Each structure stands twice: as C-alpha cells, then as structure tokens.
Amino acid sequence: MRRWTIFFLALLWSAVGFSQEPDKTMEIVIKNYLEVLESKNTKARLEALAKVNEFKSQYPNFKMREFDNFMSGKIMAASTKNWLANLSSPNAGIRHSTLHVLVRMKSDFPYLDMSGFNAILKKMCEQDPVAHLQVDAKIAAIYLNNSELAQAIKIVEGNSPGDTFTHIHLAMDKAFEKLNPKPVK
C-alpha cells in the first residue's frame, strides 16, 4: 500500500502543477489508485480514501469525477451490505462503531448519497434496545441526509464514537440557536 501511495502522490503532485484536468499520465495513476481502493484490505482502502480526501481538500478544482464515481459505485455497493448487517448486529458496540464509520464517510465525502441507510436508521431510532444508540442513530440519520451539515460539521479523526456524536449534536444545537434566536417553550 505504501508503495502505491508514494507512487500516486508523486505523480499526482507533478500533474497538478501543470493542469487541473487529468492528462493521460494522470488517468493511469488514477486507474492504479482505484485498484488500491478496490482492495479487500480494509485498512489499505481507508488509507487510500483518506489520501483522496486530503488531495481533494488541497486541490478543490481538480477534476475528481473518477473518484466520486468510484465512491458512489463499487465501494459503496460492496460496503453497504456489510454496514447494513453490522447495524443489525446484536452487539451494541458493532452497531455504534458502524454508525461512527458512516458519519466519518459522510464527513469526508459530503455529497455521497447515503440514503440507503435510512430504513435501518429509522428502525434503530425506534427500536434499538440501547437508548443512547437510538439517539445516535437519529443524529446519524440527520447528518447522513444533509450535505450542508456534513460540510459544516467535520468529524475529528481519532475521536471515539461517543465523542463524535456529542460533537455533531452540540454543533447542531449551535446551528439551531443561530437560526432560532427566541427560546423554545
């Protein structure tokens, strides 16, 4: 993975210096990098996605259609099945960690369509046996369905799921107070 990352970044930065449109060399680099993103190694995929997000932040005008198409295509199709299964797990820790992964993904890719999780999140909000997971599922449902919110509230890497949902909830409260300055009775 490290070899591909170094190769990718070196070519990517050299190509960016000349153009904001991918040239033929860049298309080859993107193709190679997409192969890493298709890896069965979860850690390698997450590192690759983090690098793509970092690159998108540094060069916002660079055409990233290939990555955006990939995100909303293959990896989401493959991962969604596992995430849906995890959200139905009898283990509360697995359900909570999966909610955390989903909001991290939305934070990194705010325009990613994550509406496929709405039904299971609604079920969790209403029926999860762990009360705080009902609350976190509701927060996740709001966050995953609002691109503006995902752009405004960025998830801090390294935070626990509990800290992440507290951060989102507090940021949502502040936004609500700004929009509704009168106290709610």
Task: Provide the pLDDT for residue 134.
Answer: 94
- CA angle 69/73/77 to nearest 5° reads 160
Within a domain: residue 15? no
**Residue 93, phi then psi, degrees to nearest 5:** -65, -40
What is the count of structural domains for the chain? 1
pTM confidence score? 0.63
**Predicted local distance difference test score (pLDDT) of residue 42:** 72
Domain assignment of residue 149, yes or no: yes
Q: Which domain holds residue 122?
A: 92-185
* Domain-located, residue 48: no
Mean pLDDT by runs of 10 across the 185 residues of the chain is: 56 48 62 71 74 69 60 67 91 92 85 89 96 94 89 82 86 79 66
pLDDT at residue 75, as a whole number = 62
- Measured in whole angstroms, the distance separating CA 57 from the mean position of its chain's CA atoms is 14
In a domain, residue 40? The reply is no
| Planar angle of CA 119, 158, 118, nearest 5 degrees | 5
